[in-house]
């Protein structure tokens, strides 16, 4: 299904209902062209049972908005997966999910599975067309306007066009943490074990592999995080700790490196001062959906007095052409180690990433000679079993 919305009423602040919905229809076959003057198109992924009515809205992007409902319904379609991350690039804030800085490990021959074989080399930074992000001026992100540029044609070694996401932290989808119970019940000598190494609570000044019980649960949690991250203690080589920004008594744990899946978190027998959640904050499998298109605009002709358009009155027509789900010059890659290793992701097919990780990145590579518009993506992934 496709939803057509009025571009003039699209609210770039992202807090109003957003563009007025003008109509819905079925998605055309690949190669089908639709005039889109004054509107933008939202493509609902195949199988997502989305209902659109007079009360449907785009913003704010809460659980009942069209983007969130679309993602939720799409996830239901694939019960073998537990989570979904998505971006349909509709608003200013969506641009912040892209990485436009210099990046050293774009997909290339030496870091891809299967090996990248095209003669084009990676650029130094993303080669794409996008609007300004929040706080960058009055002009923002217009829907259907994120484009993957074509390959370069004026260099000794030509480069491909690409869109690369920033790091998508998978910890939030399946967290692991130590929470200090409030009110405090910890006593001197209470132990929490990280990978079998004890971290011990002390009422007084701590020494190696110890932390001090503070005056509150939040203060104690901060002491635990500091002890874990302290380089002279035994933990910083395999796990890092940060305080949860919404729960100050909770210490978030992340493995080092992000593909480390062997760390266990346990408490001593009879100890009740901690709440432990031990789960793997990452994935070793993804399945991806995306939508791409070509956009063309004809010339506006208005009663020319001479030449081939003499007497013609033809308005400019912006047309949207559906592209196949997969085509030879579009390569989509996924990484769960922040772009160190990349795996080619076929459309709606499970991809085994070999090692689990928490730092997901996606890269859309254009090796062709046409600008390709990326309308959005969804990436589905499963829970993994403990330990961390």
3-state secondary structure 206-242: CCCCEEECCCCHHHHHHHHHHHHHCCCCCCCCCEEEE
Question: What local confidence, expressed as pLDDT, does residue 33 receive?
Answer: 87
Other CB atoms closer than 10 Å to residue 108's CB: what's the count? 15
Using DSSP, state whether 21 is helix, strand or coil: strand
Q: Is the pLDDT of residue 136 over 80?
A: no
Question: What local confidence, expressed as pLDDT, does residue 232 receive?
Answer: 97
Q: Is the pLDDT of residue 385 over 60?
A: yes
Average pLDDT over residues 347-366: 95
Measured CA angle at 263 (ends 258, 266), to 5 deg: 140
User: Which residue in this structure is represented by tokens 């609902």?
Assistant: 44
Q: Is the pLDDT of residue 267 over 80?
A: yes
Q: Token pair of 112, please? A: 């891809």
Give the pLDDT band (50/70/90) at residue 31.
confident
Give the pLDDT band (50/70/90) at residue 310.
low
Q: Is the pLDDT of residue 71 over 90?
A: yes
Q: Is the pLDDT of residue 139 over 60?
A: no
Question: What local confidence, expressed as pLDDT, does residue 130 receive?
Answer: 86
Which residues lie below 8 Å from residue 318, measured CB to CB, with a gap of 6+?
A: 35, 36, 37, 295, 296, 297
In the chain, where the domains are located: 1-171+281-388, 175-277
Using DSSP, state whether 95 is helix, strand or coil: helix
Using DSSP, state whether 111 is helix, strand or coil: coil
Question: What local confidence, expressed as pLDDT, does residue 388 receive?
Answer: 63
CA dist 129 and 372 (Å) reads 10
Using DSSP, state whether 267 is helix, strand or coil: strand
Question: What local confidence, expressed as pLDDT, does residue 302 receive?
Answer: 67
Is the Cβ–Cβ distance between 38 and 6 less than 8 Å?
Answer: yes
Tens-place pLDDT, residues 193-210: 999 999 999 999 999 999
Q: Is the pLDDT of residue 142 over 70?
A: yes
Give the pLDDT band (50/70/90) at residue 156.
confident
Q: What percent of the chain has pLDDT over 90?
A: 69
Q: Is the pLDDT of residue 138 over 60?
A: no
Using DSSP, state whether 379 is helix, strand or coil: strand
DSSP bridge pairs for 304: 310
CA dist 88 and 313 (Å) reads 36
Q: What percent of the chain has pLDDT over 70?
A: 94
Nearest to 9 by CA among 142, 186, 125, 152: 142
Tens-place pLDDT, residues 79-131: 999 999 999 999 888 888 999 999 999 999 999 999 999 999 999 999 999 87
Tens-place pLDDT, residues 283-301: 999 999 999 999 888 777 6
Nearest to 46 by CA among 24, 60, 27: 27
Count of positions (residues) in the chain: 388
Question: What local confidence, expressed as pLDDT, does residue 28 receive?
Answer: 77
List C-alpha distances in Å: 54 to 20, 143, 279: 10, 21, 41
Please give the distance of CA 90 from its chain centroid, rounded to a whole number: 14
Average pLDDT over residues 235-241: 95
Using DSSP, state whether 170 is helix, strand or coil: helix
Question: What local confidence, expressed as pLDDT, does residue 118 receive?
Answer: 95
CA dist 182 and 329 (Å) reads 56
Average pLDDT over residues 307-334: 85
List C-alpha distances in Å: 265 to 62, 362, 363: 34, 30, 34
Question: What local confidence, expressed as pLDDT, does residue 280 receive?
Answer: 76
Average pLDDT over residues 144-169: 93
Other CB atoms closer than 10 Å to residue 313's CB: what's the count? 10
User: Which of 15-19, 189-193, 233-237 comes out lowest in average pLDDT?
Assistant: 15-19
Question: What local confidence, expressed as pLDDT, does residue 268 receive?
Answer: 83
Is the Cβ–Cβ distance between 288 and 332 less than 8 Å?
Answer: yes
Measured CA angle at 139 (ends 137, 142), to 5 deg: 140
């Amino acid at each position: 299904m496709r939803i057509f919305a009025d571009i003039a009423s699209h609210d770039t602040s992202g807090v109003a209902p957003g563009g007025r919905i003008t109509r819905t229809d079925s998605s055309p076959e690949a190669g089908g062209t639709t005039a889109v003057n004054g509107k933008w198109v939202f493509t609902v992924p195949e199988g997502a049972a989305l209902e659109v009515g007079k009360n449907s809205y785009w913003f704010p992007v809460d659980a009942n908005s069209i983007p969130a409902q679309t993602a939720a319904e799409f996830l239901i379609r694939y019960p073998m997966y537990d989570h979904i991350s998505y971006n349909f690039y509709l608003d200013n804030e969506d641009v912040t999910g892209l990485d436009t800085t210099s990046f050293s490990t774009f997909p290339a021959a030496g870091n891809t599975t299967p090996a990248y074989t095209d003669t084009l080399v990676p650029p130094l930074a993303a080669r794409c067309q996008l609007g300004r992000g929040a706080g960058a001026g009055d002009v923002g992100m217009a829907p259907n306007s994120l484009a993957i540029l074509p390959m370069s044609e004026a260099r000794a070694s030509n480069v491909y066009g690409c869109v690369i996401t920033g790091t998508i932290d998978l910890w939030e989808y399946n967290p692991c943490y130590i929470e200090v119970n409030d009110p405090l019940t910890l006593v001197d000598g209470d132990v929490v074990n990280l990978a079998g190494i004890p971290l011990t609570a002390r009422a007084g000044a701590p020494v190696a592999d110890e932390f001090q019980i503070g005056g509150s649960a939040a203060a104690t949690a901060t002491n635990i995080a500091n002890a874990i991250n302290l380089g002279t203690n035994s933990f910083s080589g395999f796990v890092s700790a940060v305080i949860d920004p919404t729960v100050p008594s909770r210490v978030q744990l992340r493995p080092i490196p992000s593909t480390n899946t062997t760390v266990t978190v346990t408490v001593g027998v009879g100890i009740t001062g901690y709440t432990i959640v031990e789960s793997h904050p990452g994935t070793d499998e993804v399945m991806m959906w995306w939508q791409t298109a070509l956009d063309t605009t004809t010339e506006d002709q208005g009663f020319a007095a001479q030449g081939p358009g003499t007497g013609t009155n033809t308005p400019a027509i912006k047309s949207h052409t559906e592209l196949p789900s997969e085509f030879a010059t579009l390569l989509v890659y996924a990484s769960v180690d922040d772009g160190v290793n990349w795996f080619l992701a076929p459309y709606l097919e499970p991809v085994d990433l070999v090692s689990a990780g928490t730092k997901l990145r996606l890269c859309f590579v254009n090796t062709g000679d046409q600008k390709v518009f990326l309308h959005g993506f969804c990436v589905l992934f499963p829970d993994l079993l403990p330990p961390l």
